[in-house]
Structure 1
Amino acid sequence: MTSESVQSGRTRYVLFDVDGTLIDAVGNQRRVWRAWAERYGLDPDEVYRVALRTRPTETFVQVAATHDPHECLATLHELEDEDVRSGVYSAFDGAAEVLRGLPSGSWALVTSNYEHRVRGRFLRTGLPVPGLIVDAAAVEEGKPSPVPYLRAAARLGADPGDCLVIEDAPSGVQSGLRAGMTVWGVNAAAAVEGVHRHFESLREAVPHILAFASGSSADAVA
């Protein structure tokens, strides 16, 4: 049973995380953090281990407490922007199909990254860009707070109960659940705790996402 409260005839909305959900950026993230760590003479593996479970500002506190956090963040942004320009990116199988199959105005991106980088990555991979991207600059609290997903719903004019969240990471899953939305997990061998449905790949989830958006009762309740 899900948290969904969709009624017949009501518009449904799909909110996607980006990195790890639509775009495979794990290798890029590891390279960026390695380059960042080397700039400061730090152990790249240890820095990446911390960065995986914390936001950048929290990572700096743990691994580079003696350095200026503003300088640390500026360096990270510089490296990330360069990676968007020169790095190799790939979309997960099924990403283009599901995004092109959804009605305009019925989906959005909710990311802990920044909009200009998301647009750059989507341009590199050929994915269609929605009218709404809720990024790190658009909210005061990031995932796992419900704020990012609630902000997306509000800007779409959607009730949270009419929204389906597609995520790959525990913090994003918790964000969607706390927002009162239906949450499906993708691109993981094991289900993230709390998800209403789990798919090992985005490709496997595509027909179910499109069915949800179209109002198929089979995908309204798991």
Structure 2
Amino acid sequence: MPGSRTSMPGSRTSMPGSGLAAQGPAAVLFDMDGTLVDTEHLWLHAERLTMERIGGTWTTADQQHCLGGPLERVVAYMTERGDPAMVTGLHTGGVEAFLLETMESLLLAETLDWQPGARALVCEVVERGIPTALVTASWRRLIDAVHVSITGDLGFEPFTVIVGGDEVPQSKPHPAPYLQAAALLGVSPADCLVIEDSPTGVASGLAAGCRVIAV
């Protein structure tokens, strides 16, 4: 990750989809947070710090409610539960900017771990020459922090294209992110395999017409 040398330890090849069939999909589209890398604890911490800043509280139930959704939805959910005066008192950018800055700082300070089997699956897909995409609701500045860690560990670029939540007209659960990834790769969504970990992400992949594996 920027400013540090980050090592992402290898993990078990237990993720569904490892050991792809001889004739695999035209492309494999990976979610990021919670699917490839373990960032959920960082999101929980960033969300709690943000809610404390605006006079509210944040529980694991709140996190689960927002899991996999677009940043705008999370920010709206937080704003409704914060102290209006404290929300108004935030610097330029409000709750959204504070949450992004907090999460980015946590990502830059943390050694990220692969989710079980994720590293092996990514390597297998790339070795087979199958095009790949990283498709996430996270915004580009957060993707960049995670991406440097992933590529630094692997020693190569594993993603043919990357689609962030701030780069599509509508984020997950809308099909737009996966439709855009398929279009950038020049393949039919029906020929793509999506790897996801949240109901929101699964709904997005299915709505796009992709085959989906939930992990």
> What 5-or-longer segments of structure 2 have no aligned partner?
1-21
* CA RMSD, 1 decimal: 2.5
- One-letter identity of the residue aligned with 2:145: G
2:58 corresponds to 1:58: no
2:198 corresponds to 1:169: yes
Say which is worse superposed, 174-183 or 80-89, in terms of deviation. 80-89
* 2:131 corresponding residue in structure 1: 106
- Partner Cα separation in structure 2 for residue 175 and residue 97 of structure 1: 25
Q: Across the two proteins, how many residue pairs are aligned to each other?
A: 179
> What 5-or-longer segments of structure 1 have no aligned partner?
1-7, 187-222
**Is contact 2:196–2:202 with CA below 8 Å preserved after alignment?**
yes
2:116 corresponds to 1:93: yes
- One-letter identity of the residue aligned with 2:77: T
Say which is worse superposed, 52-61 or 177-186, in terms of deviation. 52-61
Give the fraction of aligned pairs with identical amino acids, expressed as a percent.
Answer: 32
Q: Could you list the per-position Cα deviations for residues 91-119 of structure 1 after superposition, in whole angstroms to 9, with x for gaps in the alignment?
A: 11222222122245611010000233223
Change in 2 beyond 3 A, CA 1:115/1:19: same
- 1:16 offset after TM fit, Å? 0.6
Q: What is the aligned counterpart of 1:137 among 161, 166, 179?
A: 166
Change in 2 beyond 3 A, CA 1:63/1:50: farther
- One-letter identity of the residue aligned with 1:113: S
**TM-score relative to the length of structure 2:** 0.74
Say which is worse superposed, 141-150 or 123-132, in terms of deviation. 123-132
- Partner Cα separation in structure 2 for residue 63 and residue 130 of structure 1: 37
Which one scores higher on RCO, CA 8 angstroms, separation ≥ 6?
2
Q: Could you list the per-position Cα deviations for residues 37-58 of structure 1 after superposition, in whole angstroms to 9, with x for gaps in the alignment?
A: 1112211327546544752232
In structure 2, the residue corresponding to 1:23 is in which secondary structure? coil
